Structure 1
Amino acid sequence: MAIQWFPGHMTSARKKAAETMAMTDVVIEVLDARVPEASSNPMIDELRRFRQRPCLKVLNKADLADPAATRAWLEYYDRQPGVKAVALSCKKPGDVARVPGLCQALAPHRSDGTKLLRIMIMGIPNVGKSTLMNALLKRRVAKVGDEPAVTKSQQTFDLGSHMTITDTPGMMWPKIEHDSDGFMLAASHVIGRNAVIDEEVATFLAGLLLGRYPALLAARYKIAPERLDALDAVGVVETVADRRGCRLKGGARDLEKASQILLNDYRSGALGRISLETPESRREMLEQPRPAAAPSGGEPAQDS
């Protein structure tokens, strides 16, 4: 199942963001540290490169991500021209306090205190932009929610005497090219639930965890190693149903409820510190052959 999610207001949000970027010195792109590249909107990169604006990539929710994977991502981004990356939790004031200085370092021509440093925060929905905004300003100015696409319009505020900061609505892009990106974003609760089927997302997540974090699965759901070795992704969801007593009337497993438990345990960090992608896994994914495109008539290609 290909996952796509592009609410209508995001088209106007992109146009407004392009106008604001023309008057911006530094772009803060907020990413989910568990899925940094999957949560990076290519349209943001396109807009800032066109305007030649430096970027501070904030890997938020770093306290939920695998530290080794996060270190690899920081090195990956810091090698890119005009980019600085930092891993933090927007819920920790000490982490957030570093952000203005990092932005200032990316715009040395605005560091003498006489010129206003203009910053804008961008990113896809539900990665923590509004939480970062509130933490920077030390007051609640942006609405925060646990559902994607809470912010619907831009807001600009003074950040100290020589900085302004603009919060922007979360922007998705019209087409998610790689199915695995859609599943990773859905698992991380970036994509609205109306666009996904929890059982399919949980099965994808279970398969990934089996391959990379089997010990965390075993510990959370009390699965013996020999039992875990015999499971596939569907079997993991079924085992969660058994361990958590998820049953329908008649005694059948309630796989929808079990799927929600697995997803919530990942999202909350109850499973442990997990990253769904690394620079290496990203490279391997991009090197895989893409499925053949459908003929121009619109019908799927048929095997001969």
Structure 2
Amino acid sequence: MKKEEIKVLKLGKDILKAEADAVKKLSLSLDKKFTQAVQSLNMCSGKIILCGVGKSGLIAKKISATLASLGLDSAYIHPVEGMHGDMGPVNSRDIALVFSNSGKTEELNIFLKHLKNRAVKIVSATSDPSSQTAILSDIHIDLKVKKEACPHNLVPTSSTTAMLALGDALAVCLMRLKGFKKESFASHHPGGRLGKILNIKVKNIMRTGNLNPKVGPESTLSQACSKMTSSSLGAVSVVDKKGKLIGFFTDGDLRRKFGKISPMEKISVHMTKNPLRIEADKTAAQAAEIMQKYKIDNLPVTDSKGILIGVIDERDLIKEGLI
């Protein structure tokens, strides 16, 4: 690399290290004030109001969005807009979560005084425990950031990274306390790839009918292979007289046993007994996890009683962008 490129690379690494160190320092300093903040947010019967100005405000907006995705009643209010009407719905049942590195931002502190007049509990995070923001707060968490990663100690870098990490820590702790599960997140996040992963069910993409080849245990290997070929699946399920899944046979099984088996032998002799399966109401993402873990291309789908109702093919998951 050229000399200038080496300098840029070193600077980039130094910046990342400085920000990582800020998060580590914050992690080591967390104490009972953090647990008090989590408990207060968890007990909130109203809204969680996020506040901040400038870059701190952007972090507050992100944390508000994260809390909202967990199903919590969360909103961001800019302090200036708040003093011009936006604090109308705020009441004593709410709690404010405030971010400011210096804790000395005038418009923020004026807004906090108005919140206190409404008996709103205030939780703040700053790097100055003696600042007015910290003094106005019921609970204050010290960010412990004494120097920004910016070479001139001007641009919010280490401080905003610490704020973001702290906000995420608060959110995840709340998620745990409220028993938030994947299914809950899915209902709040139906869009995008994440929504697809969480919401698409096996029953929505499984193959059925002629695309779900099946034979009885008395069928010959020749008959089973004929079924496989007609569906282009590369596998066939074996079911009993009641339609219950009892075995599975793939073209991979055929290749491995080629030369050792006779086309007229019963499929029950060579099938995989009690094969892996998944129920139709499970998510397609869960099916993908099973298939990737066990390195298989197909997965039979059953109902809660073990009756075969479909099959998932790896190509279907690829098409949906799940693997």
Bigger relative CO (Cα 8 Å, ≥ 6 apart): 1
State the TM-score, normalizing by the size of structure 1.
0.28
Give the strand-richer structure, 1 or 2: 2
Which has more helix, going by share of residues?
Answer: 2
Q: Which has the larger radius of gyration?
A: 2
